[in-house]
Amino acid sequence: METFFSFLSKRVDDCSSLLCVGLDPHPADLPAPTADAARTFCLRLINATGRYAAAFKPNAAFFELYGPDGWSALKDVIAAVQEESNRLGSMIPVILDAKRGDIASTAEAYAKSAFEHLGAHAITLNPYLGKDSIDPFLAYKEKGAFLLCKTSNPGASDLQDLTVDRGALTEESPSTVHRPRSIPLYEHIAHLAQSWNTGNNIGLVVGATQPEALTRVRSAAPDLWFLVPGVGTQGGDLETALRSGLRADGRGMLINVSRGIARSADPAKAAAQMRDEIINVKYALKH
């Protein structure tokens, strides 16, 4: 059975891109603060950048703020990616940026909403309630879940850098542990995600503003795909991020760019340039 990441890999091959285009219709970027304006904004971006996008990532918050009309607009935007995929002859994954995190029947409801009603192919999740909070999402074998690991915001270190004693958590003695006993919490999450990924449907969110963290997380989770925000507007450097986080096979990263493309005078050109820059950096790193 095809999994989300095998599906994503096919798209990466089809478009020769690791670019994820963020669909964030900030009210300040719209001619009017309405759900219809948000829909139009995103449809324009999808049409302009589809050929260069390995994935699209709509941010649920910028639709939810308009109530039921916004939810309807979000569903239309996800459907528009499907239409663009059909036009191009290559399926483009949609990652719903919702950062959900809850337990039991609540998580099941969130999963059903994202995957069955909205039609998203993957979702961002907060893993801090533990594995049972993400299991309802993993039950959708063909869908994907990107767990927040080391985020790109300035306050990320408040919790994510706290030290974890892995020996105490795993009941391993220091003499048998061949890796550092004390590690940051985000690195512990990466180890957990690597072990939980039995269905090839778990990835991690790791910010480009944290290159040292990217290196550590790649070491902890050598097989996983990373969703990497923070390049450009937030100050993350593309070459440094790729050097720190690419897998040995030259894959494993989706570089998310939102405002740098959406606010460009020519979004298609901006997306093409970013796609080409990623290709050039990858080539330089190999040689």
Q: Which two tokens stand for residue 28?
A: 């300040």
Phi-psi region of 235 (alpha: psi -120 to 50; beta: other; left: phi over 0): left
Angstrom distances, CA of residue 51 to CA of 12, 71, 79, 250:
11, 26, 16, 20
The span from the first CA to the last CA of the chain, in angstroms, equals 36
Q: Give the torsion sign (CA, 50, 152, 279, 197).
A: negative
Q: Which residues are catalytic?
A: 99
Element (DSSP H or E) covering residue 170: helix 166-170
What is the C-alpha to C-alpha distance for residues 73 and 46, in angstroms, rounded to an integer?
14
Asked whether 186 and 160 are in contact (CB, 8 A), the reply is yes
